[in-house]
Amino acid sequence: MPSFLPVKQIRVSDVVFKQLKSAILSGQFSPGQKLPSERELTETFQISRVVVREAIRSLETSGFVTIRQGPHGGAYVKELGFDRVFESFLDLFLMGRMSVAELIQVRQLIQPEVSRLAALHVNADSARLLEEALAFEATPKPSHAERVKGRMATDLVLAKMCGNRLYQAILEPLIRLTQEIILTVKPEKTVFHDHSEHQAIVDAVLARNGPEAAAATSKHLNTVQSGLLKLEKDFRKRIGTVSAS
Amino acid sequence: MPSFLPVKQIRVSDVVFKQLKSAILSGQFSPGQKLPSERELTETFQISRVVVREAIRSLETSGFVTIRQGPHGGAYVKELGFDRVFESFLDLFLMGRMSVAELIQVRQLIQPEVSRLAALHVNADSARLLEEALAFEATPKPSHAERVKGRMATDLVLAKMCGNRLYQAILEPLIRLTQEIILTVKPEKTVFHDHSEHQAIVDAVLARNGPEAAAATSKHLNTVQSGLLKLEKDFRKRIGTVSAS
DNA sequence: CGACTTTATTTGTCAATCCATTTTTCTCCA
DNA sequence: TGGAGAAAAATGGATTGACAAATAAAGTCG
């Protein structure tokens, strides 16, 4: 008997998922555009609606589309952000496969370099954004949550303006993860760093002084570190009672 | 009229997804364990099977479970790896939101530091793994694909043994992404680095010489860089015709 | 005892139907 | 003519019931 090849057993919904994903990645559907409706795709692929729905659901879970209901509803292609990276890091942390100490150690390597690069790439636009972020941090916030988020504004702008989008893709999720940890524990009173440290970083960046920007960032992170490490134990105690978002 | 609260409109499958995810994260289901069958969950949550399926599908897409068919089939909880991070980076790259130059720049910062840490943390076990990886690289491989993958063995072991799992979570996906790019372009003949460079890194690590390990890694990456940058244009030409995996 | 067959369990797919949401269009009245 | 409200239409969300496909375990027969 001739040796036949085994028939690959794959789920139809997987095939559809990959085709749609491929179409998005190759630009056949641009961000903002709408995929065909479920019923149309049913006809196109000649499969049941359930399968189409599962495929689209996977696209949504992967962050490629958002789904809206009603006429003019459907699966709309999203601009690919860093949410998935963030979610992945968050889950690793929640699973206990990463500690605050490790998080800070990585930030201590990457962030000074990012600030250094930001100082080299600064231009009129980014300078304005940076000053706005710093000013935003200084404005009083109604809630603790907003205060914590506001505090990260400068860091996020620096990550964005460093000229390397991969640095941004790594650092922004790490900063958001730090936020998440602080907010979960909610140490209402604690203030980890004062405004002057961010001011020093921004000054150095605006002066295009790379080494100084890196040094100021490094110093800033040392300040943050001590406060954060104390939080982890509290955090681990709480997450048992808090539902995953 | 008293002001009623708006009824939150949420998808049932989302609620189920979050509950199951939460149960996994909190350890109610450990890696290797099986979630209840679809029909059981149907009873538990008092919802239709389709909804249960969508929720489980999302868990699979998020990398929390693998689904098997047949008796003893079902949704088995996975050990959370770095696949999701890798996928996220890969998609960002495919979407043109990250370049090879940026990838290399980040590796040039992180990898020397990782090697330095590896030199500080090396012990009997990790030393053995490292030597095995280096020996594995030296053994001839039948196919180009295996050669490329084999070449990364040492880098992956170093990332694993550096003592910071977040570095591993970042670097391993970046190394795999580099692989993926090389393999897609398939420059059959090209050899980017010779064995001696990895040997130098391993020697320094085993000698517990952190600075030297970092320096050797830095030098190694410089070698890799020049070869890689030429590849990107070829890569971009191809991905239009290659389906997303 | 071993090879084959059957059976049972579980996921995969389908079809038809109805509900919920939301935008557009129509209608009717001031 | 305008505008408010009602109806229609388009789309995703959910249900039900049935059958197919895969696969591990139990049974059967030589």
Evaluate whether A176 touches A86 at the Cβ level (below 8 Å): yes
Report residue A1's pLDDT band, with 50, 70 and 90 as the boundaries. Answer: very low
Query: Residues of A with CB below 8 A from B164's CB?
Result: 102, 105-106
Identify the closest residue of chain A to B31 by CA–CA distance. Answer: A95
Every domain of chain A and the residues it spans: 12-77, 83-238
Query: Residues of A with CB below 8 A from B244's CB?
Result: 18, 21-22, 25
More confident residue, A176 or A2: A176
Query: Residues of B with CB below 8 A from A103's CB?
Result: 166
Q: What is the pLDDT of residue B242?
A: 43
Query: Residues of A with CB below 8 A from B26's CB?
Result: 239-240
Do B12-77 and B83-238 fold alike per CATH? Answer: no
More confident residue, A34 or B147: A34
Check if B25 contacts A (Cβ < 8 Å). yes
In whole angstroms, give the CA distance from residue A66 to residue B166. 29
pLDDT in tens, A66-96: 999 999 999 999 999 999 999 999 999 999 9
Q: Which structure tokens are listed for B163?
A: 């003592």
Report residue A237's pLDDT band, with 50, 70 and 90 as the boundaries. Answer: low
CB contact under 8 A, B80 and A97: yes
Evaluate whether B199 touches B191 at the Cβ level (below 8 Å): no
Identify the closest residue of chain A to B95 by CA–CA distance. Answer: A25
Q: What angle do CA A54, B82, A65 make, to 5 degrees?
A: 35
Average pLDDT, chain A: 89
In whole angstroms, give the CA distance from residue B90 to residue B200. 30
A140: closest CA of chain B, how far (Å) = 29
pLDDT in tens, B161-199: 999 999 999 999 999 999 999 888 766 666 555 688 899
| CB contact set of B155 (below 8 Å; sequence gap of 6+) | B111, B171, B175
CB contact under 8 A, A245 and B94: no
Report residue A191's pLDDT band, with 50, 70 and 90 as the boundaries. Answer: low
**SS3 of A174, please?**
helix
A163: closest CA of chain B, how far (Å) = 9
* CATH 1.10.10.10, applies to A12-77: yes
pLDDT in tens, B105-124: 999 999 999 999 999 999 99
A78 CB less than 7 Å from any atom of strand D: no
pLDDT in tens, B202-220: 999 999 999 999 999 999 9
- Residue carrying the six token digits 């059981």: B40
In whole angstroms, give the CA distance from residue B180 to residue B173. 10
B60: closest CA of chain A, how far (Å) = 9
Query: What pTM did the predictor assign?
Result: 0.90
Report residue B90's pLDDT band, with 50, 70 and 90 as the boundaries. Answer: very high
In whole angstroms, give the CA distance from residue B53 to residue A51. 11
In whole angstroms, give the CA distance from residue A58 to residue A52. 10
Q: What angle do CA A17, A22, A25 make, to 5 degrees?
A: 125
Q: Does residue A194 have a pLDDT over 50?
A: yes
- Residue carrying the six token digits 């943050």: A224
Average pLDDT, chain B: 89
A138: closest CA of chain B, how far (Å) = 32
Q: What is the pLDDT of residue A229?
A: 74
* CATH 1.20.120.530, applies to B83-238: yes
Residues within 8 A of A (CB atoms), B 137-196 only: 164-167, 169-170
CA B93 to C1' D1 (Å) is 57
With a pLDDT cut of 70, the percent of chain A lying above it is: 87
Q: Does residue A241 have a pLDDT over 50?
A: no
Q: Does residue B239 have a pLDDT over 70?
A: no
Residue A97 is nearest to which of B92, B109, B165, comparing CB atoms? Answer: B165
Q: Does residue B148 have a pLDDT over 80?
A: yes
Average pLDDT over residues A7-20: 88
In whole angstroms, give the CA distance from residue A53 to residue A72. 17
Check if B105 contacts A (Cβ < 8 Å). yes
Interface test with B, best of A22, A166, A170, A236 (most B CBs within 10 A): A166
CB contact under 8 A, B57 and A62: no
